Chain A
């Protein structure tokens, strides 16, 4: 593991570069194919509304995959991730227009742990609503 960030260079409160991730219906269809999760709530508006959703929603696992990019883009080596967990608090609603939705992710170092690892706390929102809760990763730094 060769993370490009050194443990000694970060402190509690160090902010990672925030990122925005666009998501459209086309994104969701691609993700469905790549992940094998073809639940129609992620691509079929009629079905989504029939089960009580406002519209098609993004896969929670898609949101989780985007959020960790803030961490892996920071460390360089994605293999630096030791531990990663989230709670799915609100769905990301993806309207059928040219813009879709945007997932905004920010992160900061919340604790310095043993063995050159740090805990990073992530915040993910869409349309001003928090979409992930208890979103934390432990990463091993250089």
Chain B
């Protein structure tokens, strides 16, 4: 069933702040096999001009994706999540995410399309810090495969 086009442009309330911790960044960096000291050593991060350890570029997805859950689970939208695959992902960084950040995400539905029976949903997540400054914008394309294709 095609998704309701009237949801395009809908913005959801900002999420409660996510507090970025040094040890969470370390855990993520280790999980992807990263050895760049900017992720684990505050002095190395400072040598690059950052105020504390920074997070790998894709780390922020775990925060934006959780926020996108507001959209995905919106019963009025009616997306069948069991049929959803991740189509595209894009990030635009104003600055890297760093330890100590308290990040809040505002999700907006940018587009809904129906292509060959598949529903294609574009969600933009704007990630702001505690001062209200934009840190990262994340664009996530989700594709809900047509039921016939099962």
B-binding segment of A10-18, A26-34, A92-100: A26-34
Give A138 Cβ to nearest chain B Cβ, in Å.
9
Query: A88 at the A/B interface (Cβ < 8 Å)?
Result: yes
Q: Are A2 and B49 closer than 8 Å at their CB atoms?
A: yes
Q: Give complex CA distance A33, B82 in Å.
A: 21
Q: Are B88 and A87 closer than 8 Å at their CB atoms?
A: yes
Q: Are A60 and B86 closer than 8 Å at their CB atoms?
A: yes
Q: Are B38 and A77 closer than 8 Å at their CB atoms?
A: yes
Query: B115 at the A/B interface (Cβ < 8 Å)?
Result: no
Pick the residue among A33, A62, A81 that contacts B32 (CB under 8 A). Answer: A62
Q: Are B36 and A78 closer than 8 Å at their CB atoms?
A: yes
Give the size range of A's interface with the partner.
35 or more
Give A128 Cβ to nearest chain B Cβ, in Å.
22
Q: Give complex CA distance A66, B29 in Å.
A: 10
Query: Chain A: which residue is nearest B98 at the CB level?
Result: A79
Pick the residue among A2, A34, A51, A81 that contacts B30 (CB under 8 A). Answer: A34
Query: B90 at the A/B interface (Cβ < 8 Å)?
Result: yes
Chain B residues in 8 Å Cβ range of A65: 32, 56-58
- Which B residues fall within an 8 A CB radius of A? 24, 27-28, 30-34, 36, 38-39, 47-50, 54, 56-58, 61-62, 65-66, 82, 85-93, 95-96, 139, 150
Q: Are A34 and B27 closer than 8 Å at their CB atoms?
A: yes
Classify the secondary structure of B's interface with A.
Answer: mixed
**Given A35-B31, A36-B66, A73-B36, are A84 and B57 also a contact pair (CB < 8 Å)?**
yes
How many inter-chain contacts with C-beta < 8 Å in the A-B complex?
103
Q: List 16 A-B contacts (CB under 8 A).
A: A1-B48, A2-B49, A21-B33, A27-B33, A30-B31, A34-B28, A35-B62, A36-B66, A61-B61, A72-B57, A79-B48, A81-B93, A81-B96, A83-B92, A84-B91, A86-B88
Q: Are A35 and B38 closer than 8 Å at their CB atoms?
A: no
Query: Chain A: which residue is nearest B150 at the CB level?
Result: A52
Chain A residues in 8 Å Cβ range of B58: 61, 64-65, 68, 84
Chain B residues in 8 Å Cβ range of A84: 57-58, 90-91, 93
Chain B residues in 8 Å Cβ range of A5: none
Q: What 0/1 readout, one digit per residue, does chain A (53-74) give for beta carbons within 8 Å of chain B?
A: 0000000111011101100110
Q: Give complex CA distance A114, B95 in Å.
A: 18
Pick the residue among B31, B54, B90 that contacts A78 (CB under 8 A). Answer: B54
Q: Are B95 and A79 closer than 8 Å at their CB atoms?
A: yes
Query: A127 at the A/B interface (Cβ < 8 Å)?
Result: no
Give 10 nearest A-B pairs by CB, closest first.
A85-B90, A34-B31, A77-B48, A79-B96, A65-B58, A65-B32, A30-B31, A34-B28, A31-B31, A35-B62
